[in-house]
Amino acid sequence: MATSTPTRDAYATPPREPQKQPPSERRQLWRSRLWRFDDKASPYAYIAPFFLVFGAFGLYPLLYTGWIALHRVEMTGLDSMEWVGWENFDKILHDPEFWTSVSNTFLIGVISTVPQLLVALGLAHLLNYRLRASTFWRTVILTPYATSVASAALVFALVFRADGGLLNWALGLVGFDDTNWANGHWTSKIAISVIVIWRWTGYNALIYLAAMQAVPNDLYEAASLDGASRWQQFRKVTIPSLRPTILFTIVISTIGSMQLFGEPLLLEGGALGATGGNENQYETLSIYLYNYGWNLGHLGPAAAVAWAMLALLLIIAAANWFIGRFVRKSAV
Amino acid sequence: MRITRSVAGRRLRAPLVATTGLTVTALLLTGCGGSSDSGKGADADGNITLTVADFGQFGYKEAGLFEKYHELNPKITVKEDTTAEEKNYYPKLLQQLNSGSGLADVQGIEVGRIKEIVDTKADSFADLSKSIGVDEWVSWKAKQATAPSGAVIGAGTDIGPMSLCYNRELFEKAGLPTDRTEVAKLTEGGWEDFLALGEQYKKKAPAGTYFMDSASAMFNAVVSSSPEQYYDASGKPIHEKSASVEKGWKLAAEAASKKLTQGLAQFEDQWQAALRKSTVATVVCPAWMAGQISTYAGDANKGKWDITSAPGNTSANWGGSFLAVPKSGKNVAEATKLVKWLTAPEQQAAVFKAIGVFPSNQGAYELPDVKNATLPYFNNAPIGQIYADGAKSIPEAVLGPKDGVIKDSISTQINNMEQRGTSPDKAWDAALRTIEKAIG
Amino acid sequence: MTMTSPTPTAPVKLAPASKSSAPQRPSRFRIGAGQQMKGGPFAYVALAVVGFGSLLPLYWTLVAASRTQDEVLASTPPFLPGGKLIENIQTAWEQANLGKAILNSVIVSSSITLATLFFCTLAGYAFAKMRFRGRGWLMTAVIATLTIPPQLSVVPLFMMMSGLGWGGQLESVIFPTLVSAFGVFFMRQYLIEALPYELIEAAKIDGANNLRIVVSVVLPVARPAMMVLGMLTFVQAWNDFFWPYLALNQQNPTLQVALGQLSASYTPDQSIVMAGALISTLPLLVVFVVFGKKIVGGIMSGAVKG
**Cα separation of A106 and A193, whole Å?**
11
Q: Please give the interface size between A and C, counted as residue pairs whose CB atoms are below 8 Å apart.
A: 404
Give A68 or B43, the one with higher predicted confidence.
A68
End-to-end CA distance of chain B: 69
**pLDDT at residue C17 above 80?**
no
**Cα separation of B386 and B379, whole Å?**
14
Q: What is the pLDDT of residue B1?
A: 33
User: What average pLDDT does the structure give for chain A?
Assistant: 87
3 state SS of B59:
coil
Closest chain A C-alpha to B326 CA, distance in angstroms: 15
Do the chains contact at C211 and B55, CB–CB below 8 Å?
Answer: no
Does the residue C102 lie in any domain?
yes
Give chain C as a DSSP string: -----SS-------SPPP--SS-SSPPTT---TTTTSBP-HHHHHHHHHHHHHHHHHHHHHHHHHTS-HHHHTSSS---S--S-HHHHHHHHHHHTTHHHHHHHHHHHHHHHHHHHHHHHHHHHHHHHHB--TTHHHHHHHHHHHTT--GGGGHHHHHHHHHHHT-TTSTHHHHGGGS--HHHHHHHHHHHHHHS-HHHHHHHHHTT--HHHHIIIIIHHHHHHHHHHHHHHHHHHHHH--HHHHHH--TTS--HHHHHHHHHHBS---HHHHHHHHHHHHHHHHHHHHHHHHHHHHHHHHHHH--
User: What average pLDDT does the structure give for chain C?
Assistant: 84
Superfamily classification of domain B48-159+320-371: Periplasmic binding protein-like II (3.40.190.10)
Sign of CA dihedral B245, B247, B253, B256: negative
Do the chains contact at C252 and B34, CB–CB below 8 Å?
Answer: yes
Q: Give the right CATH number for A94-331 from 1.10.490.10, 1.10.10.10, 2.40.340.10, 1.10.3720.10.
A: 1.10.3720.10
**Cα separation of A6 and A16, whole Å?**
9
Type of residue numbered B320 = G
State the average pLDDT over residues B153-171.
95
Do the chains contact at A248 and C14, CB–CB below 8 Å?
Answer: yes
Do the chains contact at C171 and B57, CB–CB below 8 Å?
Answer: no
**pLDDT at residue C243 above 50?**
yes
Domain ranges of chain B: 48-159+320-371, 162-319+380-439
Candidate from A19, A143, A150 with C-beta closest to C205: A19
Do the chains contact at B437 and A268, CB–CB below 8 Å?
Answer: no
Q: Which of residues 256-275 of A touch B (CB under 8 A)?
A: 268-272, 274-275
CA–chain centroid gap for C206, Å, is 38
Candidate from C115, C162, C267 with C-beta closest to B98: C162
Chain A environment of B84 (Cβ under 8 Å): 270
Q: Does the model's ipTM exceed the 0.90 cut? A: no
**pLDDT at residue C27 above 90?**
no
State the average pLDDT over residues B70-83.
92
pLDDT tens by residue, C82-138: 999 999 999 988 888 899 999 999 999 999 999 999 999 999 999 999 999 999 999
**pLDDT at residue C306 above 80?**
no
**pLDDT at residue B12 above 60?**
no
Do the chains contact at A145 and C235, CB–CB below 8 Å?
Answer: yes
**Cα separation of C86 and B326, whole Å?**
36
**pLDDT at residue C36 above 80?**
no
Chain C environment of B36 (Cβ under 8 Å): 100
3 state SS of A268:
coil
Least confident residue range of A192-206, B348-362, B378-392 = B378-392
- With an 8 Å Cβ cutoff, is B32 touching chain C? yes
Q: What is the pLDDT of residue A331?
A: 59
**pLDDT at residue C33 above 50?**
no
Give C71 or A14, the one with higher predicted confidence.
C71
Best to test chain B binding among C75, C111, C114, C216 (most B CBs inside 10 Å):
C111
Q: Which of residues 129-168 of C touch B (CB under 8 A)?
A: 158, 161-162, 165-168
pLDDT tens by residue, C259-305: 988 887 765 688 999 999 999 999 999 888 888 888 888 888 766 54
pLDDT tens by residue, A39-74: 888 999 999 999 999 999 999 999 999 999 999 999
3 state SS of A22:
coil
Candidate from C97, C161, C211 with C-beta closest to B14: C211
Closest chain B C-alpha to A45 CA, distance in angstroms: 7
Chain B environment of A29 (Cβ under 8 Å): none
Best to test chain C binding among B37, B90, B275 (most C CBs inside 10 Å):
B37
Q: What is the pLDDT of residue A13?
A: 47
- At A21, is the pLDDT very low, low, confident or very high (cuts 50, 70, 90)? low
Candidate from A48, A268, A279 with C-beta closest to B416: A279
Do the chains contact at A302 and C155, CB–CB below 8 Å?
Answer: yes
Q: To which H or E segment does residue A33 belong?
A: helix A25-54
Best to test chain B binding among A24, A32, A35, A76 (most B CBs inside 10 Å):
A76
CATH for C207: 1.10.3720.10
Q: Assess contact for C287 and C231: CB atoms under 8 A.
A: yes
Q: CA–CA distance from C24 to each of A268, B13, C227, C297 (Å)?
A: 42, 34, 11, 7
Tally of structural domains, chain C: 1
State the average pLDDT over residues B209-227.
95
Q: Name the nearest CA neighbour of B438 among A91, A276, C21.
A: A91
Q: Which of residues 265-324 of B touch C (CB under 8 A)?
A: 272-273, 276, 295-296
State the average pLDDT over residues B419-436.
94
pLDDT tens by residue, A151-179: 999 999 999 998 888 999 999 999 998 88
- At B36, is the pLDDT very low, low, confident or very high (cuts 50, 70, 90)? very low
- With an 8 Å Cβ cutoff, is C108 touching chain A? no
Interface partners of B (3+ CB pairs, < 8 Å)? A, C
- At A216, is the pLDDT very low, low, confident or very high (cuts 50, 70, 90)? confident
Share of chain C above pLDDT 70, in %: 85
Chain A environment of C32 (Cβ under 8 Å): 128, 212-215, 217
**Cα separation of A302 and A78, whole Å?**
13
- With an 8 Å Cβ cutoff, is C162 touching chain A? yes
Domains B48-159+320-371 and B162-319+380-439 share a fold: yes
Superfamily classification of domain B162-319+380-439: Periplasmic binding protein-like II (3.40.190.10)
pLDDT tens by residue, B244-287: 999 999 999 999 999 999 999 898 888 988 999 999 999 999 99
Tell me B264's DSSP state: P
Residues 6+ apart with CB under 8 A from B343: B132, B155, B156, B157, B323, B360, B361
State the average pLDDT over residues B375-397.
89
Closest chain B C-alpha to A74 CA, distance in angstroms: 9
Give C249 or B14, the one with higher predicted confidence.
C249
Closest chain A C-alpha to B27 CA, distance in angstroms: 16
CA-angle at C67, arms to C65 and C68, nearest 5°: 110
- At A317, is the pLDDT very low, low, confident or very high (cuts 50, 70, 90)? confident
Do the chains contact at A270 and B415, CB–CB below 8 Å?
Answer: no
Do the chains contact at A53 and C12, CB–CB below 8 Å?
Answer: no
Q: Assess contact for B295 and B288: CB atoms under 8 A.
A: no
Q: To which H or E segment does residue A231 belong?
A: helix A230-233
**Cα separation of B82 and B92, whole Å?**
12
- Residue C290: which domain range? 41-304
